[in-house]
Amino acid sequence: MRTVSEFDSLAVFELKGGFIMERMVMVKNMIESQLSIPFGMVKYRWLKRGQVVPMPFEALQQLLWNEGVKLMFTNGMLYIDSMQDKKDLGLESADATEPELLIALNEQQIEEMLKTLPIDVFKKKLSTLPDAQIDNLIDYAIEKNIIDYNKCAVLKEVTGRDIMAAIQRKADIEAEEKREKEKRMSEGRRI
């Protein structure tokens, strides 16, 4: 089985001595986990968040009939930047100009949501996000130590994840690691 990962957006396939160009859709991993989708003799694999893998349009069109693959897109695990590709695949309505069904936040939008949006706008926007994007929002808040009590409370209510407790646990772990390192250094051991 051949594995497809990052390469050019145009694939060239040999066909009876000639070559044909196939329409490729650039599919991006939006979560911190590895993902893979088998299709015939090919396995499409994303190894990290942000990785883009080109997939033939026709293959993706067939794969979207599989409920599990479709959920990867609707839950925000996989994302397609091209609005035209999303429309052609039926992932967005034909008359949409902005993403309505598949929404992916970039780092700047996540930071804006967590730091500057008023709480009522935050709640409204949060209600439109897929689960994977809400998880990305929480992970970013924990990673960057962003604490807004009201927004943390809303996110805890929606997901059950306590951002403030996670940030405290992270700080405790870092402090313990620092103490251990200092202890090893004072004992003359190599790190």
CA angle 54, 55, 59 (to 5 degrees): 175
Supply φ then ψ for residue 52, to 5 degrees: -110, 130
Enter the pTM of the model.
0.66
Whether 74 and 129 share a structural domain: no
Q: Would the pLDDT of 191 be above 70?
A: no
Q: In the block, which residue shows the tokens 């590895």?
A: 34
Task: Tally the domains of the chain.
Answer: 2
Is position 94 within any domain? Answer: no
- 115 CB-near residues (< 8 Å, 6+ apart): 146, 148
Q: How high is the mean pLDDT of the chain?
A: 83
Whether 12 maps to a domain, the answer reads yes
Q: Say which residue the tokens 């051949």 belong to.
A: 2
For residues 179 and 116, state if they share a domain.
Answer: yes
Percentage of the chain modeled with pLDDT above 70: 87
pLDDT top residue among 115 and 14: 115
- What pLDDT does residue 187 have? 80
Q: Give the residue numbers spanning the domain of 55.
A: 2-88
The reported pLDDT for the residue numbered 22 is 82
Domain shared by 26 and 84, yes or no: yes
- Domain assignment present for residue 145? The answer is yes
